[in-house]
Chain A
């Protein structure tokens, strides 16, 4: 194999770093956006058609751009935000633009699954819109929220591997530079294996947590 143990650990770390940090920022954008998509829709707590339509359209636009294109399309913006367009940190910007709207959609779906009767009961007991969201909708959706966040993290692991294509580092970078360009099948198999284990781990963790939240 053309790579040593240290390089692999470094690449794994970069992948975890990209996924973790971009997940954090995506959540920061996606969570409020998801809530807004729920409460501004017709017949909901803070019905507001213009706001809903704009947010909905923005999310749809970002959701329809393939990540590999988003990656290069927003290079100028990336340079503006982090000062460079290559490297692990630079990869986080497109990852957030990719995952933020995605998470918003997932959260929106989760919250919409909550039985409308719960919202009715909350209104009937005099809850404010904020209380309804944070004390009723989110706690009631928490098990499903954990599951969709699991999906989002797995999506980010995959996308972060693609970011390797533009010099973002991480396991994807390793697989492309050594496994693909230098025909090192060993590296290819190893990186794929690590990614599989990573994804399996996240999925299992998410399932266990979600189940636990559902039971109690």
Chain B
């Protein structure tokens, strides 16, 4: 478990002060994959680096498994770091060492017996799918393979926490996917708590259980990925969600609608989980004297839960529309008027 309590970080460069973190309260539960997203400069790196004290908080505490790590002595900090693996955007591997030695490095530092190192590294190479690359040098490998070395190295000392600082930002989408799959496996197989930071919402959707949105050094929204994606509260969060959910009315269609004289209400109807199977549209059109014009629709999966979106234009008698809406409110689906939202 990682607990941030009132964490602030202020950088001083000369007379200028940069407030990178302004009072962060966040709890990452044991075994979770927790994602922190934010635009460039939001403070993501500063935040994740306070966990292993690569950056010391200016105020507040970071507790790992209940222990305040900034209160530790340098020696204790080094010991604590062996329980916190970290992977980096640019991998940060030793170019002068083979893949094997790179992965073995944390064990060499703790003076682990040679035979034990060999067993552990072989096992890790197997796990990350690089068993046949042990004697190569990082430069001979692709970005994705380098990150696999990074992951194997981070796991060498059997940490309980893994920190990922933009671990997929230097990779193409396909490679990103395979690294995210690997992270999920790390989480499942070794029961490792993962804290990752990213500026890509797709990464959050793909692997995270929970998400926090960071802006100007503050958490502006947090919750389960499902809740945040299906019902984003803050404008910044909406922007992030929109970047991957594609549940907005196409711009062209929107203009077309606005340009006509039709003053028909447009509603976004959200189906989540079981309500996906709810036959709303057919029921409404059967029971009421209405034209239901579906302008846009899609269905995706969030954390294994189906999630659907329909944008529907209601045309007909206003009283009839009101009755239909009432029925929607009483059904398991969510509806919100879009005319105000979209304009």
Contact = CB atoms under 8 A, between A and B. Distances in A.
B82 interface: yes
B106 interface: yes
A139 B81 CA distance: 22
Interface in B29-82: 52, 54, 77-82
Contact of B94 (A120, A126, A140): A140
A139 B96 contact: yes
A125 B82 CA distance: 6
A213 B97 CA distance: 11
23 contacts: A117-B90, A118-B93, A121-B88, A121-B92, A123-B52, A123-B81, A124-B85, A124-B86, A125-B82, A125-B85, A125-B105, A125-B154, A125-B157, A126-B81, A126-B109, A128-B78, A131-B109, A135-B108, A135-B109, A139-B96, A142-B96, A216-B96, A216-B137
A140 B101 CA distance: 13
A69 B52 CA distance: 52
Contacts of A112: none
Interface residues of B, number: 30
B157 A120 contact: no
Given A117-B90, A135-B109, A127 B96 contact: no
A115 interface: yes
B92 A117 contact: yes
A124 B137 CA distance: 21
A76 B212 CA distance: 70
Contacts of A115: 90, 92
A120 B54 contact: yes
A212 to B, nearest CB: 12
Contacts of A213: 96
A137 to B, nearest CB: 10
A143 B95 CA distance: 11
Interface string A115-157: 1011011011111100100011001101100000000000000
